[in-house]
Chain A
Amino acid sequence: MDKSHLLTDMEMVGFIVNGYHLLELDLPEGLNERIAGRLEELDHNPGDAIAEEVPELWQAIEHPAVEGALVSLLGEDYEVQGHRHWHCKQPHTGHMSWHQDSTNNRDNRIDRLLGLFYPTDITPEMGPTIIVPGTQFRNAPTDRMATYTNIHGQVPMVVRAGTFALTHYDLWHGTAANRTSLKRHMIKFLFRRVRDNRAPTWNHDPEAMNVPTAWGGKRDDPKNVLSFGNPIGVGQSDHYKERQIRWKCWNNLLGVADASDG
């Protein structure tokens, strides 16, 4: 694999803290349009068979930048799972409430990812996916989210055609209403870790964390972002817990057998 597509320490820490990573793919000219055109012509939702109906999607899944990010986050022999789904948000349809897919399986690890591919530009009016950064480690059944609508720090996937968003499986997500006459296309893929890391699988600098702890100071290096990043501004108690979970996750990715709190 071309190591230039592996994530950096800062990007890895960004994923641990925020629970997502965006890639704008340099796909062959016209590919996004062909994918969107095929989706527009579908008269049914083929479910898991969407990549057979629209085989051009494999060029996104197998793009070097996607593979590099997946190797970085899930290890060299990650699995592309068989479940995938075309999320076609119809014109003039309402929002979708916050949820996590499946049951909640929070732990300290990065073992499962969602891949969200957008073959067209997505505007705020088209019903973008919206995520809440940093919520991937929360043990919060979807029913408990029913009294939330807008949350401080939420991020709409208002993106350019050809964007591939990787999110932690347990990240809170929903959608805004589609107020346009256009269909909003998103194809969801699942990826899974097969085995634990014995060593870092990204572009890791062993000295990356060998910097002073910046209590109240500049925090734009991996160590201090991992410790102090607070994307939605949670309270001190939750932040302390987040910090412990993140360092366990980081140590697990490094291949440290007995991942400590750091």
Chain B
Amino acid sequence: MLDFTFTEEQEMIRESVREFAQKKIAPIALEMEKTRQIPEDIIKGMADLGLIAPTVSPEYGGQGFDAVTAGIIAEELARADVTGSIPVFYLVQASWGHIFDKYGTEEAKREVLPNVTKGKWFLGIATTESDAGSDVAGTRTTIRKEGDHYVVNGEKMYISGVREAYTRGGGHITIAKQNPELGTRGMTLFYLPLQSKGIIPTYVDDLGREGISTGGFTIDNVVIPKHYIIGEENRGFYIVHEGYEYARGLISVICAGAGLQSLERGKKYLKERKAFGQPLAKFEALQFRLAEHYTKLSFLRLGAYWALWTYDQEAKGKATRFEVSKAIAMAKMFASEWSNAAIDEVMQWQGAFGYTRECPDQAAWRAIRSFAWAEGSKEIMRVIVSRELLGKEYISYK
């Protein structure tokens, strides 16, 4: 049976998050471009409401939310924060909090997750390196076992939330090669506290979503205890993709939400702004563009929630890993492009104002552009879908 309605509880969640986000986040969003941080009272407000890593189980301070419910929160945050900073802060911790909760050791979960859900620490993901992005197999960072602990060496780059974890506390779920000769079957995932001895952070100047830092860090003989291993040794490559799928699903909803919200602003502008004696909304050429973008983004939104729903079905044993990968990749494939095209159109309607820093849509445009590669590039999404359609024997890079 097809049923496109959310549950009563999910509707209440949406309403509460929307009220909070529109009241507290929307008015200060553009300020984050200048201050380059998320205000502390917003983080506290999110933590008080239970919006940080709500995918984590209640015994570790989370809400135990499924992917669809996590998506609802992501959409509302994206509709309020045009800079995309808070959506990134949210999606990274929701996705990797879920993975930590699912595969982390009891000892590590008790130590880390309550601090994350309370907003004290930041939990991120660090797989990307200067020469290894979507091609995780190209990772150079290594991890070796020494007695009852592990030693890590290497470097990570283009990582969200480096400053947050380095200064507030917390760390990143990190991937490294434990048995390089085994290729993807020799990679291990672990929790790396960024305040560990041997971590040196660096920062990059991002084009958008300035409220949250992007950077990298060198890892010089960093010692981590055994209980920080996430999942089994040498299984990291597979677990990390599960986390990326979660994040990709949330990104798809964020792109839809941010784009639709931009169209809302655009609609208002078209009705108010007059040219040649009538409102811009009376011009059919603009009406058609509005209709087209709205339709595309509505389908994107539906597809994104469907993909997250598929993720939840896997947990119930009703979908396979491959079905999830394909659904998520289909949702994310056009997410950034379609959203950016809609926002670009709204900037165009606003003429010269659309090209100023005062225009919220330019911030949204820059933020959404990042999602064309973040957590898996749009090209990789095509690789995944075609792999599922044609079979592994036709993978182009093998």
Chains A and B bind each other: no
